[in-house]
A = this chain, B = another copy of it.
């Protein structure tokens, strides 16, 4: 495949940026990959791993001459970075980001974007509980969604070109309105993460049940929560601070619903519990049919030997 962009600048070199670099190189989609990170240690690791062609000390330097700039920093750092790079962006360049929240990123970045630069906000629905430049791998985006939330009046050719790059590294691309994105993600990602963090926190507090026992016997449900709750703290702090309204809305609904089930348990209402659990089971079938997970019976819970071979 021919390079889609002459020079791609990755700002921030964590899980997403390093995976993008690996993927772009794997598919030969970028003429040159330039990377930068605020931390000298991160830059040194990236240089050692060599997934970028060139590492710059500053974001201002990294974006020079780039026809694609990707902001891969926590949502809370977007405004500062946007202000820093704005005077150095090449005319006609495309600027995108990978933040998990879109309205707040647009508010933070859009005011800084110079005339003639195409700002196309984005969000890959891909990740692991690991972070940092060593955690990236080339297939992270394969068969995963990458949502774009173009601004009104966005340049269609620039959007199509970015879309081509993302599809080139294996992603399925969809476009939606930023506010709608933030609500959908509050349901599918932000609130589930907060709940998982909370449950793991509760387990940590319990002194009657020692921590070692909880860890030892974690396979029965709790284990999945700890994986979710092991994600990058900075990223998630920023997600909740910047998608506050939608998260609080969904959390309110969640608490209401939890109280209904809690009451059913207290009152011994078996039929209500059974009806509820039967309904949620059907939703799972929808996800498997939509190809977003596998129905393999021992998926994720097989023998360690099998897991090691994944």
Contact = CB atoms under 8 A, between A and B. Distances in A.
Given A189-B222, A196-B221, A197-B277, A292 B215 contact: yes
B303 A195 contact: no
B237 A270 contact: yes
Given A198-B261, A199-B254, A244-B268, 8 more contacts: A126-B301, A137-B298, A147-B217, A218-B293, A241-B273, A294-B310, A296-B308, A310-B310
Contacts of A220: 125, 127, 185, 188-189
A279 to B, nearest CB: 6
Contact of A299 (B217, B287, B310): B310
Interface string A8-41: 0000000000000000000000000000000000
Interface string A279-303: 1110111110011111111111111
Given A274-B233, A286-B211, A191 B199 contact: yes
Interface stretch (A53-61, A88-96, A245-253): A245-253
Interface string A137-150: 10110111101000
How many subunits of this chain does the assembly comprise?
2
A129 to B, nearest CB: 7
B230 A209 contact: no
Given A216-B290, A273-B240, A201 B280 contact: yes
Contacts of A130: 295, 297
A226 B281 CA distance: 7
Contacts of A244: 265-266, 268
Contacts of A293: 218-219, 223, 226-227
A262 B251 contact: yes
B139 A284 contact: no
Contacts of A205: 253, 257
A258 B199 CA distance: 8
B226 A280 contact: yes
